Amino acid sequence: MRIIPAIDIIEGKCVRLSQGDYETKKIYNEDPLEVAKSFEGAGLSYLHLVDLDGAKASHIVNWKVLEKIATRTELTIDFGGGLKTNEDLRIAFESGANQITGGSIAVKDPDTFTQWIKAYGSDKIILGADAKNEKIAVSGWQEGTEQEVLEFISEYVNKEIKYVISTDIDKDGMLEGPSFDLYKKVLKELPDIKLIASGGISSIDDLIQLKELGLEGTIVGKAIYEGLIRLEDLRDLFD
């Protein structure tokens, strides 16, 4: 299972939220590059970079942060947050993203998102399936829908999506453990997808359980910043 540390960006700074609430913002570092280099220095290879300003604005905002990290580290970066147009996608890839994640656009403009899968290939486009009470939420998690998460993922599997990041919003940033039941349910119905867990990770034990479930990857954020999980333990256990 791949371990994918997360950096969330607001106003160019490394922050974390709880349950997607911008009012809970906590700044952990003024320089995201410094954080990315610490991940790389610990032997990790991947990075989940989220443009929270972009998610709110519905267009890419912090592309210069992406560019700086991409040019000054060797990390494999997946980038998301506010990608809505072909121009947003062009900027993200030209700035150094290896993959991009689309969530809101996959709900609100499925034709464009499906075009992206066809144009760039299923190795480059990740489906963001973020849910509250197992129903998809969009627009930086500020807007709920009535679409069931399993049904939503299934629709895109039929459109050849391969990678899926699924965050249980109620778990995100709470350090109370991930949504094991949700991931079991998804993998039981869709065993061939590369499912990436996100939200609620609080310990190495959580990661071991997710690996045993068959997750392709897990995104780890607040647990690292709060010192609950040490980078060297991630490297030693999952490299």
- Catalytic residue ranges: 8, 130
Residue type, 170: D
User: How far apart, in whole angstroms, are the C-alpha atoms of residue 79 and residue 92?
Assistant: 7
Contact 223, 175 (CB under 8 A): yes
**What is the widest separation between alpha-carbon atoms in the chain?**
43
DSSP state of 56: H
Contacts with 57 (C-beta within 8 Å, 6 or more apart), sequence order: 82
In this structure, the strands spanning 131-132 and 135-138 are antiparallel
Token pair recorded at residue 9: 């960006």
> Cβ–Cβ contacts within 10 Å for residue 75, how many?
21
List for the chain the helix, strand, coil content (%; round to 5): 40, 30, 30
Among 233, 238, 180, smallest CA distance to 210 is for 180
Give the dihedral sign, CA 56/125/151/178. Answer: negative
Contact 26, 16 (CB under 8 A): yes
User: How far apart, in whole angstroms, are the C-alpha atoms of residue 219 and residue 2?
Assistant: 9
